[in-house]
Amino acid sequence: MTDEHTLGKSFTLNDGNSIPLVGLGTSRILPNETISVITTAIDIGYRHFDTSEFYKNTTQLGDGLRQVLLSGKVNRDELFITAKLAPCYEAFGDIETSLKEFLTLLQLEYVDLCLLHFPIQFKKGAKKCNDHTKLGEYINGICDHVQLWKEMEDVVGKGLAVSIGVSNYNQEQIQNIRQICKIPPAVLQTECHAFLQVKDLVQFCQDEGIFITAFAPFGSPGLSNYKPCYKECGILKDDVVLDLVRLYDRTPAQILLRHLTQRGIGVIPKSSNAVRLAENINIFDFSLTDDDMEMITKLDKMGRIFSFPL
């Protein structure tokens, strides 16, 4: 059933910070397009931008954010910046060091949300890898989540991040953090879409007051163009989705995003196209019925696209 809070455009986290339900995922946006995409997205109404140390466009993202701030189109407190730290943590203090380096690239004094990108540890050289690198060769093993979380709490205390959370963590790993934390995780970012609805994980997080943000809400179409080992999952062409497209006169993307937000899940779709950018954020003037939601729920295949050694 649709919850009232999902009909707004933002959600209040467990620490009181407010996160926009729809953000722009910046993975695989070409560096030479990034500044233009950020400017266009701001003009359309985006205020939430998601990035990672692993992305190849962070310098250009910083330039784009700087330009829109200097132009006066938005103030810093109107933006919500999510930064995922690459898990290259080999010594105490690496979290603060990594975040400060990231903030320098973004040309910001703080981020609104800092996430641990993976629950595994990579060697330092992984940050310099390219699309052809086999990341498995850089894995050191599972991180010390307890120690890392204490360092995450420290960056909040130092004003480098407002909220903190995790990405690609499972329920057990989140529980381990919650047992020792002074500041609980505010957000879990995870793969979630119609073919992978992770219902148990979503229910656990919502019961614990942890907000879920879904990456790859469309099943990451086009990913195979960058990495042939990934296969298209076809959510955007599913018959159930297309029936709802005709019923509501919406795009497949809008139907899928509306389904997620009505579950109380935030979304960070990626696009460089101005038309699709506008479509992806304009999903709050219609609602799916309970029957519609149930039809999409039945599409769940537990079909994970991104596999990580968790």
Domain ranges of the chain: 10-298
Which one has a higher pLDDT value, 89 or 99? 99
Contact (Cβ atoms closer than 8 angstroms) between residue 260 and residue 288? no
pLDDT in tens, 19-43: 999 999 999 899 999 999 999 999 9
Q: What is the DSSP letter of 86?
A: P
Q: At what angle do helices 145-157 and 94-106 cross, to 10 degrees?
A: 50
pLDDT given for residue 91 in this prediction: 60
Average pLDDT over residues 150-178: 96
pLDDT given for residue 131 in this prediction: 53
pLDDT bracket for residue 232 (50, 70, 90): low
pLDDT given for residue 7 in this prediction: 39
Contact (Cβ atoms closer than 8 angstroms) between residue 190 and residue 198? yes
Based on the number of CB atoms within 10 Å of its own CB, is 154 exposed (0-12), middle (13-18) or buried (19 or more)?
middle
Average pLDDT, the chain: 89
Contacts of 177 (CB under 8 A, 6+ apart): 145, 146, 149, 166, 184, 185
Q: Could you give the CA distance from residue 110 to residue 112 in angstroms, rounded to a whole number? A: 7
Q: Could you give the CA distance from residue 166 to residue 150 in angstroms, rounded to a whole number? A: 13
pLDDT given for residue 233 in this prediction: 74
Average pLDDT over residues 211-220: 94
pLDDT bracket for residue 134 (50, 70, 90): low
pLDDT bracket for residue 90 (50, 70, 90): low
Contact (Cβ atoms closer than 8 angstroms) between residue 96 and residue 158? yes
pLDDT in tens, 37-81: 999 999 999 999 999 988 999 999 999 999 999 999 999 999 999
187-196, 199-208, 300-309: range with lowest mean pLDDT: 300-309
- The one-letter amino acid code at 219 reads G
pLDDT given for residue 126 in this prediction: 56
pLDDT higher than 80, residue 306: no
Q: Compute the half-sphere exposure of residue 176: CA atoms within 13 Å on the CB side of its CA.
A: 15
The CATH number assigned to the domain with range 10-298 reads 3.20.20.100
Sign of the Cα torsion 200, 204, 209, 215 reads: negative
pLDDT higher than 60, residue 128: no
Average pLDDT over residues 199-204: 98
Residue 120's beta-bridge partner residues?
A: 142
Tokens of 224: 């195979």
pLDDT given for residue 5 in this prediction: 35
Q: Could you give the CA distance from residue 302 to residue 308 in angstroms, rounded to a whole number? A: 15
Q: Could you give the CA distance from residue 56 to residue 133 in angstroms, rounded to a whole number? A: 13
Average pLDDT over residues 180-208: 97
pLDDT given for residue 234 in this prediction: 86
DSSP assignment string, 35-69: HHHHHHHHHHT--EEEEETTSTTHHHHHHHHHHHH
Task: Write the Ramachandran bin of 46: left for phi over 0, alpha for psi from -120 to 50, otherwise beta.
Answer: beta
Which helix H or strand E contains 120, and what residues bound it?
strand 120-122
pLDDT higher than 60, residue 143: yes
Tokens of 19: 């996160």
Return the active site residues.
Answer: 55
pLDDT bracket for residue 310 (50, 70, 90): very low
Report whether 259 belongs to an annotated binding site: no
pLDDT higher than 90, residue 287: yes
